[in-house]
Structure 1
Amino acid sequence: MGVMESTASIAKRGLVMLITGNGKGKTTSSFGQALRAIGQGYSVCILQFMKGRKYGEVIAGEKYLPGLRIYQFGLDSFVMRNNPAPVDVEMARQGLEKAKEIIASGEYNMVILDEINVAVDFKLIPEEEVLNMVKNKPAELDLLLSGRYASDKLKEIADLVSEVNEIKHHYNAGIKDRAGIEY
């Protein structure tokens, strides 16, 4: 952004936002951002990497938010970090191709790439392709990337970086996950 850029063009410039960290709430925050944007009349698309379960936010979004489109590219199982199954790699790459298509389409005001940071860190998709996609997004598009393990390069090109840190988690007290809280 040059010094001479007008206030009007700055206001219209889409932001690159990144939510990372080891705490609970990155996806929840992403869906909250989508809800806020939809409330202001935006059309929003969320692409979830490494997720295949119909979590509560996906169910509610599909049922109550006509301005929201959600795609999932993953199975309802954990991905092994150092030995991902070929299907996990293939689904993540399909998600990346769909993300490129959606971003280039101009159909949405905001695109959220949920868990893309993890997909990059697990080497399911190449970081360089994600960086290029972010750098070449339409100027007016707001783009949010979420997930643990965000790379320094992604943090550097983002306009906003928020980190969710775990201070205490109920799992450590033996309390299991449950509907409405974890999914």
Structure 2
Amino acid sequence: MREGGVRHVSKPAKNGMVHVYTGNGKGKTTAAVGLALRAIGHGRRVFMLQFMKGSKNYGEIIAAEKYLPSFTIVQSGLETFVDRENPSPEDIRLAIEGLETAREVIFENRYDLVILDEINVALDFGLIPLEEVIELIKNRPPEMELVLTGRYAPKEIIELGDVVSEVCLISHPYYHGVEARKGIDY
């Protein structure tokens, strides 16, 4: 590690990189969607799989369906929150299905950028096996850009990242009783 916590690792040059957006602050999915928008602006195709999310009311889903034909978003979760201590069989089934969908999409290699939104949380909750995610990262097409978002990124995932950003919580309206706001928080 260098000053400021930045590590420098010598890795072979490749076109696609692995991005990990983690931490307890707001903005990990937002950063991934911003990267998607940038990629689409340059003619690239983007696929986002949202683990543990099932509501169609997210702004990125509405925008992609209305305005961004190069941006495919698939959800693999229920509309309700997952109980970390006791996930339902349906939560587990959907997460495993999501991982299989991610595997198919990655190895079909039809997209330039693949975002696995909230995959770190799915890992932390024990919904999917870490070894399979590691294998997916290591065996993806070398030109593919891959993003993994969510709190609690395991050290094994962080070590595989070329770009690793930790979003820190300093303040958030939620802790002051403000509900999530349409168009800003979802």
- Give the Cα separation in 2 of the matches to 1:103 and 1:142: 10
The one-letter code matched in structure 2 to 1:121 is: D
State percent identity of aligned pairs: 55
Task: Classify the secondary structure of the residue corresponding to 1:29.
Answer: helix
Aligned to 1:24: 26
The Cα of 1:13 is off from its aligned counterpart by 2.0
The Cα of 1:82 is off from its aligned counterpart by 1.5
CA deviation profile, 1:83-135 (whole Å, cap 9, x unmatched) = 10000000000000000000000100110000000001101000000000000
Aligned to 1:61: 64
Determine whether 1:116 maps to 2:119. yes
- Give the Cα separation in 2 of the matches to 1:176 and 1:93: 30
Task: Classify the secondary structure of the residue corresponding to 1:132.
Answer: helix
What TM-score comes out, normalization by structure 2 length?
Answer: 0.92
Q: How does 1:1-80 map to 2 (within 5 A)?
A: 10=13, 12-54=14-56, 55-80=58-83
Aligned to 2:154: 151
The one-letter code matched in structure 1 to 2:63 is: A
Question: Which segments of 5 or more consecutive residues in structure 2 lack a partner in the other structure?
Answer: 1-8
- Give the Cα separation in 1 of the matches to 2:49 and 2:111: 12
CA deviation profile, 1:19-43 (whole Å, cap 9, x unmatched) = 0000111111111110000001110
Task: Classify the secondary structure of the residue corresponding to 2:171.
Answer: coil
Q: State the Cα RMSD in Å.
A: 1.4
Task: Classify the secondary structure of the residue corresponding to 1:112.
Answer: strand
The one-letter code matched in structure 2 to 1:123 is: G
For these two proteins, the number of residue pairs brought into alignment is 177
- Give the Cα separation in 1 of the matches to 2:68 and 2:88: 34
Determine whether 1:131 maps to 2:134. yes
Question: Which segments of 5 or more consecutive residues in structure 1 lack a partner in the other structure?
Answer: none
The Cα of 1:148 is off from its aligned counterpart by 0.4
The Cα of 1:16 is off from its aligned counterpart by 0.5
Aligned to 1:96: 99
What TM-score comes out, normalization by structure 1 length?
Answer: 0.93
